[in-house]
């Protein structure tokens, strides 16, 4: 999964916390009564084609009591600041404004790494400025992790590994992020999902993992719990898949056996109608035969003059 997709999942799973962390300046008025809805317009992707990154997550903020006009946040993650295009972002925001028929659009860019990048775009001539565009920037690598180590915002806690820290602090960063996940997210499925997020961005070495287990036994228990549920879920899915495959195979085999029994019954009726009663040996041979043999015998009824010759059984002793 790409960085874009990981952050898209994070924003869509925790839209309110994402705005409060990534766009704090504009999110001050977002209280518990406000609706925050991730919206996705597929036509935008089709219009832009491959020129645009996968992550363009618009979040629509609505005040049900009407005290403020709805606000549209356009969030995207940029891994390398040097690759950021302010022209593309401006184009995207103008399209959002047109599609949603609003001028209340807040562009937000989450920078995972450093690099030179433009901070504003101005279009104009010698006498006038005709367009001025800027955006909110959340530069994760510029944030000191200690400022958020005890935050009650889950999005902030999960991003501790992406904040500025010394290499010898990585174990402490990892522990604080895992502790935040365990304390702030009650859903086991979400816990499983985002412990992977923390693990990927912290990227502990084997020695650091050993240190983590020694220095943070409580957080280690949480990790073991996450891992146990992950493994249990894998076992459950494996059992379910096995049962489904077994059921499918059993059903297929049952149908084949049913068809075969029907063909065998038809053959025995035809043999009895032409040659008289069947011996026990003939019945046993027909019941154990496969579909190919049953078809061949059904054809031979037309040309052979005895049950034995049809089934190629030893001839009955005339004595």
Computed over every residue of the chain, the mean pLDDT equals 82
Interatomic CA distance for residues 59 and 26, integer angstroms: 13
Q: What is the pLDDT of residue 281?
A: 85
Interatomic CA distance for residues 275 and 272, integer angstroms: 5
Q: What is the pLDDT of residue 45?
A: 40
List the beta bridge partners of residue 139: 111
What is the pLDDT averaged over residues 229-242?
54
71 touches 106 (CB < 8 A): yes
Confidence of residue 200 (pLDDT cuts 50, 70, 90): very high
Confidence of residue 250 (pLDDT cuts 50, 70, 90): low
**Most confident stretch, 194-208, 260-274, 299-313:** 194-208
Residue 143: DSSP 8-state: S
Q: What is the pLDDT of residue 317?
A: 47
Interatomic CA distance for residues 285 and 14, integer angstroms: 68
Confidence of residue 247 (pLDDT cuts 50, 70, 90): low
Residue with tokens 């103008």: 94
Q: Per-residue pLDDT tens for 60-102?
A: 998 887 778 888 999 988 888 888 999 999 999 999 999 889 9
Q: Per-residue pLDDT tens for 264-302?
A: 888 888 888 888 888 888 888 888 888 888 888 888 887
Query: Is 70 exceeded by the pLDDT of residue 319?
Result: no
Question: Above pLDDT 70, what percent of the chain?
Answer: 81
Q: Per-residue pLDDT tens for 101-128?
A: 999 999 999 999 888 889 999 999 999 9
Interatomic CA distance for residues 215 and 13, integer angstroms: 31
Confidence of residue 240 (pLDDT cuts 50, 70, 90): low
In sequence order, the 6+-apart residues with CB closer than 8 A to the CB of 266 are 298
Q: What is the pLDDT of residue 313?
A: 66
Tally of CB atoms within 10 A around 107: 21
28 touches 19 (CB < 8 A): no
Confidence of residue 153 (pLDDT cuts 50, 70, 90): very high
What is the pLDDT averaged over residues 145-172?
96
Q: Per-residue pLDDT tens for 48-61?
A: 334 444 456 789 99
Q: What is the pLDDT of residue 133?
A: 96
In sequence order, the 6+-apart residues with CB closer than 8 A to the CB of 114 are 81, 139, 141
Q: What is the pLDDT of residue 116?
A: 86
Q: What is the pLDDT of residue 20?
A: 93
What is the pLDDT averaged over residues 149-171?
96
pTM above 0.85, yes or no: no
Q: Per-residue pLDDT tens for 162-177?
A: 999 999 999 999 999 9
In sequence order, the 6+-apart residues with CB closer than 8 A to the CB of 228 are none
What is the pLDDT averaged over residues 210-234?
72
Kindly tell me the sign of the dihedral angle through the C-alpha atoms of 39, 42, 48, 54.
positive
């Amino acid at each position: 999964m790409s960085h874009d997709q990981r952050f898209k999942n994070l924003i869509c799973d925790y839209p309110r916390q994402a705005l409060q962390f990534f766009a704090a300046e504009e999110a001050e008025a977002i209280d518990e009564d406000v609706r925050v809805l991730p919206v996705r317009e597929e036509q935008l992707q089709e219009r832009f084609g491959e020129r645009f990154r996968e992550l363009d997550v618009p979040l629509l903020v609505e005040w049900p009591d009407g005290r403020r006009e709805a606000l549209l946040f356009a969030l995207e993650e940029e891994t390398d600041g040097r690759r950021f295009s302010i022209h593309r972002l401006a184009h995207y925001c103008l399209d959002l404004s047109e599609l949603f028929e609003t001028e209340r659009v807040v562009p937000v860019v989450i920078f995972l790494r450093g690099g030179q990048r433009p901070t504003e775009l101005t279009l104009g001539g010698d006498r006038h400025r005709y367009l001025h565009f800027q955006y909110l920037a959340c530069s994760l690598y510029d944030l000191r992790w200690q400022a958020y180590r005890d935050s009650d915002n889950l999005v902030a806690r999960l991003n501790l590994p992406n904040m500025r820290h010394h290499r010898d602090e990585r174990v402490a960063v990892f522990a604080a992020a895992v502790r935040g996940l365990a304390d702030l997210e009650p859903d086991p499925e979400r816990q499983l999902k985002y412990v992977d997020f923390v693990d990927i961005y912290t990227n502990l070495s084997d020695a650091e993992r050993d240190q983590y287990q020694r220095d943070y036994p409580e957080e280690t228990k949480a990790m073991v719990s996450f891992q146990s549920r992950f493994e249990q879920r894998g076992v459950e899915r494996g059992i379910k898949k096995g049962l489904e495959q077994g059921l499918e195979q059993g059903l297929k085999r049952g149908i084949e056996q049913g068809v075969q029994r029907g063909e065998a019954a038809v053959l025995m009726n035809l043999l009895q109608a032409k040659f008289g009663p069947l011996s026990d040996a003939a019945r046993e041979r027909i019941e154990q035969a496969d579909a190919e043999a049953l078809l061949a015998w059904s054809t031979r009824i037309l040309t052979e003059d005895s049950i034995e010759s049809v089934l190629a059984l030893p001839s009955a002793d005339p004595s």
